Amino acid sequence: MARISGVDVPNEKKVKISLTYIYGIGRTLALKILKDAKIDPELRVKNLKDEQITSIRKTISDNYNIEGTARTGKVMDIKRLMDIGCYRGIRHRRGLPVRGQNTKNNSRTRKGKKKLAVKKKRKV
């Protein structure tokens, strides 16, 4: 397996698909990276030469924020929203859907498991 940006990319897949295993790289960005590095996207990773892998690594490290920096940036953006107290930040803080989804019946992935209502006993 070739190691790019601290991630082992699969050997049997085409380069354009293998690069998507790296956090922060999707299909479009993978094609852009390969175009900048002047590598055919249809090649398999196992058929790449060392110089080609090095050029991919260099292109990624020079031009793009991926893996740790991308994750950190995402966390910092959410933290900034919570700190300024905007609507989206409040929704993040409460663990509710952020993008306007209904919460009456759905949104179980954000809200967590259902909380069962406990009935109060009547005093006689």
Element (H, E) at 61: helix 50-63
| Mean pLDDT of the chain, nearest integer | 90
> Worst-scoring range by mean pLDDT, 8-22, 47-61, 100-114?
100-114
Three-state SS for 2?
strand
pLDDT at 78: 95
pLDDT in the model for residue 108 = 87
Residue 56 — very low, low, confident or very high, per pLDDT cuts 50/70/90?
A: very high
**Domains of the chain by start residue, with CATH:** 2-63 (1.10.8.50), 68-111 (4.10.910.10)
> For residue 7, which of 17, 16, 20, 15 has the smallest C-alpha distance?
20
Look at strands 7-9 and 2-4 and give their pairing.
Answer: antiparallel
Identify the weakest region by mean pLDDT among 14-23, 48-57, 104-113: 104-113
Query: What are 65-91's pLDDT values in tens digits?
Result: 888 889 999 999 999 999 999 999 999
In single-letter form, the type of residue at position 51 comes to E
